[in-house]
Amino acid sequence: MLYRAKMIGRVLMWGLLAAVIVIGLRPPMVMSTSNTMEKTVTYNKLTPDEERVILHKGTEMPFSGKYYQYNADGTYTCKRCGAPLYRSTDKFDAGCGWPSFDDEIPGAIKRSLDADGVSTEITCARCGAHLGHVFEGEGFTPKNVRYCVNSISLNFTPEGEAQKSDSPKAIQASEDKPVEKAYFAGGCFWGTEYMLEKTEGVISVRVGYMGGHTTNPTYQQVCEGGTGHAETAEVVFDPTKTSYEKLARLFFEFHDPTQKNRQGPDVGEQYRSAVFYVDDTQKQIAAKLIDILKGRGYDVVTELSKAGTFWIAEDYRQDYYDHNGKQPYCHFYQKRF
């Protein structure tokens, strides 16, 4: 009896030990990306008509939408996730039957090639909700761009009411304060991004492609050449805390504007030095700085061109140096002014 009791005790002991080992070796439970997103981003319940447009990329009938001729002051938000998308001050009547805007809240909109292979689709950068399409070169406003948006994809927050958003960048960009954009290309866009986003007054920096002829280019296509694009950084800044001239001066001092179609070890037209100006004021400031540098003996080859479509690079291309903890290899500050 004593022997049997000892054997039973040993079996129980080893069984318990095995259970502890198995539990200890079991890998931690990892939630899927979709489940994680569902916990961090609250999606509003959609009606079947809203799902047809927002999730399945449909289009509402022209002249039928709630916000087509809506003129109240405030902010238009994504109906699916609530992210701020457009300000009422950027809305205009294009006579097309859908709400039209000539600018976005910085970082709110993602552009991609439509399924038809021709049009440019616009979606909410935060949740991917289909909004409509964007068109350029129509001449409706001085900004020469038209975001054509389905009313059914939008909600509206009147001016003065708090805007709910789980995205810090969206909250920051939607504050009632002036913001401006600038576009600089100076070699690898990761180095340009790194140098600019640490500057006082800069709200956000995104990397992408500008100055080419290929619609919605990929990083691989740009690197292979032939698209005409330059690796470009889009800078959103607060003009009450910094100025376009300060940013442009910094741009000319953290890259070498005398190198043609290259920057350091990176060679190719995608690495060319370029300033893409959004208006005549930026053009005049950049031209003035180039003249100053030439007067000081610098053989500046920086391209000065009107800003066109900015194609945002893939999400995993953003904030490269912040993610890997390294430093730019071909960008460093050198005083020139």
* Residue 7 CB coordination number (10 Å): 10
Angle at 131 between CA 48 and CA 62, to 5 degrees: 75
Q: What are phi and psi of 120, to 5 degrees?
A: -110, 110
Residue 314 vs residue 129, higher pLDDT = 129
The answer to whether 223 is a known catalytic residue is: no
160 pLDDT band (50/70/90 cuts)?
A: low
pLDDT at res. 3 = 39
Q: Is the pLDDT of residue 152 over 80?
A: yes
The 10s digit of each residue's pLDDT in 199-230 is 999 998 999 999 999 988 889 999 998 899 99
Q: What are phi and psi of 317, to 5 degrees?
A: -90, -10
Look at residues 146, 131, 152, 200 and name the one whose alpha carbon lies nearest to residue 46. Answer: 152
> End-to-end alpha-carbon separation of the chain, Å?
96
- Rounded mean pLDDT, 251-262: 95
How many Cα atoms within 13 Å fall on the side-chain side of residue 103? 18
Q: Which residues contact 227 (CB under 8 A, 6 or more apart)?
A: 209, 212, 213, 214, 217, 221, 270
What's the whole-number average pLDDT of the chain? 83
* Residue 270 CB coordination number (10 Å): 29
Look at residues 88, 100, 92 and name the one whose alpha carbon lies nearest to residue 150. Answer: 100
Of 81, 124, 148, 330, the catalytic one is 148
Residue 260 vs residue 317, higher pLDDT = 260
Q: Is the pLDDT of residue 6 over 50?
A: no
Q: Is the pLDDT of residue 23 over 80?
A: no
DSSP string, 134-150: EEES--SSTT-EEEEE-
pLDDT at res. 177 = 58
Look at residues 148, 150, 127 and name the one whose alpha carbon lies nearest to residue 57. Answer: 150
The answer to whether 188 is a known catalytic residue is: yes
DSSP state, residue 151 = G
- Rounded mean pLDDT, 112-136: 92
pLDDT at res. 30 = 32
Residue 108 vs residue 79, higher pLDDT = 79
Among 17-26, 92-101, 115-124, 171-180, the range scoring the smallest mean pLDDT is 17-26
The 10s digit of each residue's pLDDT in 267-282 is 999 999 999 999 999 9
- Rounded mean pLDDT, 194-203: 90
pLDDT at res. 9 = 46
Mapping DSSP onto H, E and C, the string for 275-329 reads EEECCHHHHHHHHHHHHHHHHCCCCCCCEEEECCCCEECCHHHCCHHHHHCCCCC
Q: Is 94 helix (H, G, I), strand (E, B) or coil?
A: coil
Of 78, 81, 127, 188, the catalytic one is 188
Do 205 and 193 contact (CB within 8 A), yes or no? yes
Q: Is the pLDDT of residue 326 over 90?
A: no
Residue 315 vs residue 116, higher pLDDT = 116
- Rounded mean pLDDT, 20-27: 34
Q: Which residues contact 64 (CB under 8 A, 6 or more apart)?
A: 97, 151
pLDDT at res. 25 = 33
pLDDT at res. 139 = 92
Look at residues 78, 84, 76 and name the one whose alpha carbon lies nearest to residue 44. Answer: 78
Domains of the chain listed by start with CATH number: 42-158 (2.170.150.20), 177-324 (3.30.1060.10)
> Whole-prediction pTM value?
0.59
pLDDT at res. 171 = 38
* Residue 323 CB coordination number (10 Å): 10
The 10s digit of each residue's pLDDT in 293-307 is 999 999 999 999 999
